[in-house]
Each structure stands twice: as C-alpha cells, then as structure tokens.
Amino acid sequence: MKRLILAILCSGILALSAAPSWFGDQPPSSALIYGRGSAKVIKKDEAATLEEVKQQALTDVSHQIIVHVNARSANYEEEGLENISLFTKEVQVESCVQLCGYDVVNRSIQKDTYYILISVSRERLISHYLNMINEGVEDALSIYDGAMQLYKSDPRQAELFLNQLRAKLIDIQDYGKIFNSLYSGGIQSKVPRIRQLPRLGEVDTQISLLKGNPKQSYDDLFEDLVRQFRPELNHPHTFDISYPEWQNTGFSSDFSLNFGEYIAHQLESRFGWQRAGYSSKPEIILSGQMFQEADRINMFLKTVGTINQTYSIQLSAATVQHFGIDTIKPANLEQNIAVQQQFINETVQKGGLKVSAMFPRFSNSTAIYRLGEEASLFIRANKPCYLTIINVEADGHWNVLEQNMYIEEEDTNEWMPLYSDFTVTEPTGVEQILVQASLEKLPYYETVMEVVPGGGRKYICPGKGEDLLQTRGLVKQDPKTNEYTEYYLTWTVVQK
C-alpha cells in the first residue's frame, strides 16, 4: 500500500505493575472455559472499565470457541453437517455466551489497571446450542412444508419461504458445528430429525427455478432482504455494518462495499436506523457472506445484537453477469488466501504475550476503505515488547511499516495509535497487516526504500515470506525466557 508514513503518536500513562498471579493460565478444565480481560482505569471510572474488561473476557472465550470449531472442520460431513464455511463470527458466539451467563472467578485493580478472569460453563453452552438446534430443525421442517404446499399456487410466497429455509439451514449448520466442538457425542444422536432436512443445494435449486433469471438491481436485492425482516426491525436502531465478505475469508470486494453502503443508506432513510459512533456499541451488527453456486451467487446476511436473525438472498446468473464476477469476487483471491494461510499455518506462539491491531472505524467489522480516504491503525499489547509491523500489499509487496518499535510498560493494555491518519492510495485489493511481538528484539528485515508519489516513503522487503519464515525459525530457538506472538488483520482497498 502506497501511503504517507507519518509520525508515531505516543502518550504517557501511569506505570503498570505486573498482572496478578491468578490472571495467568488456569489448569486445563473439561467443564469450564476461561476468559481474560484487562484495561487501564480511565479517569478513575472503575464502572466503565469493568464493563470494558468484561467485554474483553467474553471476546476471549468466544475466540477460543471459534478456534476449536475451525480445528474440527475436517470432521463436519461425517457428523452430518455440510462442510461449508462457518458463518458464525466471534461477536455472534459472544452473544450466546452472554445469554448462557458467566462467573467472575477473580478481579482486581493493580496500579490503575483492572484485571478480570471469568469462567463459562461448557455444560450450559452445550444445552443452549442444543436447544437452538432443536428449535431450528422444527422451524425449518415447518417452513419447508409450507413452501412445498405453495410451490405451484403462490410461487412468490414459496420463494420467500425457501429463502427463510435456506437462512435457517445456515443457522443450524453453524450451531451444529459449535455444538460438536463442545460435545463429543455428535449431533445426530441428540437431534435425529436433523436427517429429514433438505440439503442447501436442493433448496438453492428450487429457489432458482421459482425466481427465474431476472437482472436484479440493488433495490431488488434489498427488497428481498426486507421481506424477511421481523416487524421490530422496521423501527429505528443503532447499527454497524460489516460489508459482505467472500465465503469466510475476510476478503471483500467493490460490490460488497457498494451494496453494503446501499443497505446502510436504505436502513437509515426508510427505517430511521443510525450508525453507532466509533466508541459506542451498536444495538445491531449487520454482516454477510457470499458463496458461488454454479452461475449464481448466494448471499447470507445476519443481524446480531438485540435481534438475531439470518437472511438469504440469491443473485441470479443475469445479475452476476450484469455486475461482473470480477466486481463481486475479491481481486487476486487465491493469491491472498495463500498469503493468509502462510501467516496462519506457520504461526509461532511462545508464552503469554498477546498483541492485537484494529482500525477504530471498523472495530466491529471487516475494514474496507476507498482510495483517498484517511485511515488510522491502533495496536495493543499486554506486556512491554518489541513490535515489527508489515503490510502485505494487494500487489504482493511487503511494506515494512515498523521494526522493533518498543511498547513501554505504561502503554500496555491500551490501544495505541501507530500513526496519525494516513491516506489510502493504490493499489486496490485485499491487504494484510502482520504484527510480530517479542519480549526481546526481533531480527531486522532487509528493505529497499521506495519514494511514494506525494512525498512519502515505504520500505519494501524483497525476501517477503522467506524472511518471515526465517524470523520465526530464529524465534523458535530463542531462550525460554523470551515470549513471542503474532497477529494479522485483513483489510480491503477499493476504488472511489
């Protein structure tokens, strides 16, 4: 990404002591899942900080569940589930964790930092997801019966029912995968009627036959969405939107941004919805995914928060041809997935050091920027450490943003701005931010400076992935006293 690299912003905060001993790793438990959170007490507002660390701890639990679900992906089909990409995100699992409840194991304030440790009962989670699966299966079978009865007499209503059925099947698949990650007995023994459900491909074909092959506009697609809304969604809500991604890759496209913004505009103008500010939590988060099925595109959207629901929209072959598959599908998808997998497959983790990164504007969603917009990147680490930050550009170049930037003790557990706002410029496409963190200094990447039009500079690493693997290899040989971790963040740059 060609950009103007501006000065690092630093802020001084009171010194932080070491975390309490109970905040570290707990003994392995088959009955409980532990979550942790920590944050500075801002202006002595302990109540607000407590809510923040609780939220962090819930997110930590949700992340652990999602990681376990993804690790079992190869077993889904033999367990009676279709092996499609998991649509459930951490924020959606988090909602279920909150419904199930959690216990505060310990909490304390040490030198202006609030620490909390929570536990979530695995048994309660299993029971919760089993109930949702049972309810979903019964609803799906009822909807399917209704659709078949109206298939010839009222095709439009039958199509609506089948879209609702397809959305319900996606929910059942997601709940089932999470259930199977928590319960070793398998889902079919607990929910035998799940075998009676139609396959997603069958439902998709039936929808296609009823719909025909119209050329749909954004308005047509939005109307397909609104027809599935519950009545309470037709009233004002605060919301945030995550532009529909391609499958479960985190990669979005020009079409994703344009249609996502169209949805947001319609929700605001027709129903009085308002986007939540960067620092406030929205009532509803709207996200989506797209899957290619032959010459059609299936889009699944979800509302999560005060109203949890899944919606199904089908883009006909004529619509795909009209917008262009190159606009709907992210550019250089295969290459970017390969880069992403390279990060994930060889990830090295040593010790309890943790680091994360975010674009504040997209704290609840996948980041996507237009050319010419201003962007800012924030970093947070839980211990004093050295950070090396690399942006893998859409054209494959590795732009080393920082090498061995040190996070002081007083800046730990705080979101720190890496740069003041920088301008997003070409190339367009999917990019990755890779953050490496170590208690000891990291090996330096060899770079070549390039001048960016407009007066900025960037530092390109010719070795790319080879240098990364070498760095990881050196880290593996570090003394046991060192700790190391990595974090990567996907974001997308599109045309104006």
pLDDT tens digits for range 12-26: 222 334 678 888 767
Q: What CA–CA distances, in Å, run from 86 to 82, 83, 136, 194, 199?
A: 10, 8, 17, 18, 16
pLDDT tens digits along 261-307: 899 999 999 999 998 765 567 888 888 889 998 899 999 999 988 88
421 and 486 within one domain: yes
435 and 419 within one domain: yes
> Residue 410 has what pLDDT?
82
In a domain, 488, yes or no: yes
339 and 314 within one domain: no
pLDDT above 90 coverage of the chain, percent: 33
> Residue 154 has what pLDDT?
96
Final residue before a domain boundary, out of 307, 330, 353:
330
Contacts of 307 (CB under 8 A, 6+ apart): 230, 232, 233, 237, 284
413 and 395 within one domain: yes
243 and 126 within one domain: no
Q: What CA–CA distances, in Å, run from 467 to 83, 346, 413, 434, 461?
A: 35, 13, 29, 13, 8
467 and 340 within one domain: yes
Of 125-139, 247-261, 433-447, the range with the lowest mean pLDDT is: 247-261
pLDDT above 70 coverage of the chain, percent: 79
Count the Cβ atoms, other than its own, within 10 Å of residue 403.
19
161 and 114 within one domain: yes
Highest mean pLDDT among 27-41, 85-99, 323-337, 374-388: 374-388
In a domain, 261, yes or no: yes
**How far is the C-alpha of 139 from the C-alpha of 462, rounded, in Å?**
55
> Residue 190 has what pLDDT?
92
Cut 0.75: pTM above it: no
pLDDT average, residue stretch 462-480 = 60
Note down the domain range covering 227: 212-330
Asked if the bond preceding 20 is cis, omega within 30° of 0, the reply is no
172 and 126 within one domain: yes
Give the domain CATH number at 375. Answer: 2.60.40.2550
Q: Which residues, listed in sequence order, are joined to residue 458 by a DSSP beta bridge?
A: 450
pLDDT range class, residue 214, cuts 50, 70, 90 = very high
pLDDT average, residue stretch 351-367 = 76
Highest mean pLDDT among 44-58, 339-353, 416-430: 44-58
**How far is the C-alpha of 132 from the C-alpha of 174, rounded, in Å?**
11
258 and 356 within one domain: no
pLDDT range class, residue 8, cuts 50, 70, 90 = very low
In a domain, 1, yes or no: no
In a domain, 258, yes or no: yes
> Residue 210 has what pLDDT?
94
386 and 243 within one domain: no
Highest mean pLDDT among 25-34, 332-341, 400-409: 400-409
pLDDT score of 133 more than 80: yes
Give the domain CATH number at 247. Answer: 3.40.50.10610
Final residue before a domain boundary, out of 158, 190, 222:
190
Highest mean pLDDT among 161-170, 180-189, 287-296, 354-363: 161-170
In a domain, 388, yes or no: yes
In a domain, 20, yes or no: no
Choose among 260, 476, 474, 263: nearest CA to 370: 260
| Mean pLDDT score across all residues of the chain | 81
> Residue 12 has what pLDDT?
27
How many structural domains compose the chain?
Answer: 3
Give the domain CATH number at 136. Answer: 3.10.28.20
In a domain, 300, yes or no: yes
Number of H helices, E strands in the chain: 11, 21
pLDDT average, residue stretch 326-353 = 72
246 and 129 within one domain: no
Of 57-71, 160-174, 229-243, 416-430, the range with the lowest mean pLDDT is: 416-430
341 and 479 within one domain: yes
> Residue 168 has what pLDDT?
94
In a domain, 421, yes or no: yes
Go through 408-432 and write b for each residue having 16 or more CB atoms within 10 A of its CB, e for each that does not: eebbbbbebebbeebbbbebbbbbb
pLDDT score of 5 more than 50: no
pLDDT score of 312 more than 90: yes
pLDDT average, residue stretch 155-168 = 94
Final residue before a domain boundary, out of 305, 330, 355:
330
What's the token pair of residue 273? 């919805």
**How far is the C-alpha of 313 from the C-alpha of 227, rounded, in Å?**
11
